[in-house]
């Protein structure tokens, strides 16, 4: 599974970071960074939840 962010849509609300901080990080300049673009299997459920919880629908998954 791979996770991607649409930087034109993302507002760096950090909801995803709160749900899966090992995968998502928002820096001091309000930029979202994907720390693990290839998500390990044991984190799939949490990352799916984080992607669904994005208030701007800026995240997507490639499975």
- What backbone torsions phi and psi does residue 46 show, to the nearest 5 degrees? -65, -40
Q: How confident is the model at residue 47 (pLDDT cuts 50, 70, 90)?
A: very high
pTM check: above 0.75:
yes
CA 24 to mean position of chain CA atoms: 5
| Stretch 26-33: mean pLDDT | 95
Q: How far apart are CA 56 and CA 63, in angstroms?
A: 21
Q: How far apart are CA 40 and CA 7, in angstroms?
A: 23
**The pLDDT of residue 43:** 97
pLDDT in tens, 17-28: 999 999 999 999
């Amino acid at each position: 599974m791979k996770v991607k962010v649409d930087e034109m849509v993302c507002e760096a609300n950090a909801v995803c970071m709160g749900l899966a901080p090992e995968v998502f990080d928002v820096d001091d300049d309000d930029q979202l960074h994907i720390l693990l673009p290839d998500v390990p299997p044991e984190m799939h459920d949490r990352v799916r939840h984080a992607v669904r919880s994005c208030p701007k629908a800026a995240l997507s998954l490639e499975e």
